[in-house]
């Protein structure tokens, strides 16, 4: 780590959003996707973001990952404030510190699985840690697919390749927007196991958006959004705990009336 010694407080926060708002459109068609979200993501912790459709989960994750800019508020990755970063510095920060497992971040169709996985390292001019590469590939069960192009892989295999691509560079923080969305339960378990290992064994920070209570149960913490606001948080949740909260959120009228509910 390259953080200054003695800055313990900051070192422990891998990402932070502060009174983040995001508004789309204006006038009659205005949408308040985020209404003042403040949240910390501690280094080495696995967080799942949940909430009803349209509650602002993807918007929050995109703002945290520097893929979208908020209307107001601040985002910090480690000790770097994203506000005011030049495009070049933002690109470098994303490349060096952040891994993405996003469905929208497709694989390059003309490259093999292996080339896709090592592409970010190549662009950054870094050597691939072959031992770690083999570990990731082995755990994700895609060792026999490395020479294939994305069109020759199933959706689940492509998703696992995208996951491997995010992990191989050992970024400080990994963001996943429904990283198990296309997967059967076995592949889903493999992806979640390796994200869990990224935090437990390598101290990486993982933040995922998911609709699946079983996926959320892999996390140390689940935070719930409703209508652009944070309304609940569970620590060490079981799938049943998560399911119960989701049921109430789905029933609740927009406006965050479930805040503080037990």
Ligand X SMILES: Nc1ncnc2c1ncn2[C@@H]1O[C@H](COP(=O)(O)OP(=O)(O)OP(=O)(O)O)[C@@H](O)[C@H]1O
Q: How far is the CB of 31 from ligand X (least distance, A)?
A: 5
| Cα–Cα distance, 164 to 76 (Å, whole number) | 25
For the stretch 180-187, contacts whose Cβ atoms lie closer than 8 Å and that sit 24 or more positions apart, written own/partner, are: 180/210, 180/212, 180/215, 181/103, 181/210, 181/211, 182/103, 182/155, 182/156, 183/155, 183/156, 183/159, 184/156, 185/214, 187/141, 187/156, 187/159, 187/160
Q: Using the minimum distance from each CB to ligand X, give the nearer residue, 167 or 206.
A: 206
Place of tokens 């070049």: 88
From the CB of 68, what's the least distance to ligand X, in Å?
9
Structure tokens at 30: 């205005």
Yes or no: say if 233 and 224 are a contact pair by the CB < 8 Å rule: yes
Nearer to ligand X, 51 or 213 (CB): 51
CB of 79 to ligand X, least distance (A): 26
Q: How far is the CB of 188 from ligand X (least distance, A)?
A: 17
Question: Minimum Å distance from CB 223 to ligand X?
Answer: 12
Tell me whether residue 174 or residue 249 sits nearer to ligand X (CB atom): 249
Helices (H), 142-262: 155-168, 185-200, 213-216, 239-251
Handedness of CA 173, 4, 130, 196 (dihedral sign): negative
Measured from the CB atom, the residue of 25 and 260 that comes closer to ligand X is 25
User: What is the closest distance, in whole angstroms, from the C-beta atom of residue 24 to ligand X in the complex?
Assistant: 3
Minimum separation from the CB atom of position 228 to ligand X (A): 7
Identify which of residues 220 and 227 has a Cβ nearer to ligand X in the complex: 227
Q: For ligand X, which is the closer residue by CB, 55 or 199?
A: 55
Residues that bind ligand X (CB under 6 A): 24-25, 31, 33, 51, 53-59
Parallel, antiparallel, or unpaired: how do β-strands 46-50 and 31-42 relate?
A: unpaired
Residue 121's alpha-carbon distances to 99, 166, 168, 215, in angstroms, are 11, 10, 8, 28
| Closest CB 114 distance from ligand X, rounded Å | 31
User: Can you tell me the distance from the alpha carbon of 17 to that of 71, in angstroms, rounded to the nearest whole number?
Assistant: 12
Of the pair 21, 257, the CB lying nearest ligand X is at 21
C-alpha span between 190 and 19 (Å, rounded): 35
Q: Looking at beta carbons only, is 36 or 54 nearer to ligand X?
A: 54
């Amino acid at each position: 780590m390259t953080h200054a010694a003695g800055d313990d407080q900051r070192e422990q926060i891998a990402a932070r959003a502060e009174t983040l708002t995001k508004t789309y459109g204006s006038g009659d068609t205005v949408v308040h996707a985020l209404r003042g979200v403040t949240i910390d993501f501690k280094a080495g912790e696995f967080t799942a973001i949940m909430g009803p459709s349209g509650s602002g989960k993807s918007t929050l994750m995109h703002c945290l990952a520097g893929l979208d800019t908020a209307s107001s508020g601040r985002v910090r990755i480690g000790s770097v404030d994203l506000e005011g970063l030049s495009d070049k510095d933002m690109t470098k920060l994303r490349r060096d510190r952040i891994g993405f497992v996003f469905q929208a971040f497709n694989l390059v169709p003309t490259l093999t699985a292996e080339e896709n996985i090592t592409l970010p390292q190549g662009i950054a001019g870094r050597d691939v840690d072959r031992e770690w590469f083999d570990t990731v590939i082995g755990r994700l069960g895609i060792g026999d697919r490395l020479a294939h192009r994305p069109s020759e892989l199933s959706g689940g295999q492509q998703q696992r390749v995208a996951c491997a691509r995010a992990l191989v560079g050992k970024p400080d923080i990994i963001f996943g927007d429904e990283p198990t969305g296309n997967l059967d339960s076995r592949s889903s378990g493999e992806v979640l196991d390796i994200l869990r290992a990224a935090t437990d064994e390598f101290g990486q920070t993982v933040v995922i958006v998911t609709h699946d209570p079983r996926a959320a149960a892999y996390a140390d913490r689940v935070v719930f959004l409703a209508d652009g606001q944070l309304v609940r948080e569970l620590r060490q949740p079981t799938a049943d705990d998560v399911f119960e909260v989701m049921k109430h959120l789905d029933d609740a009228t927009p406006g965050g009336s479930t805040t503080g509910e037990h």
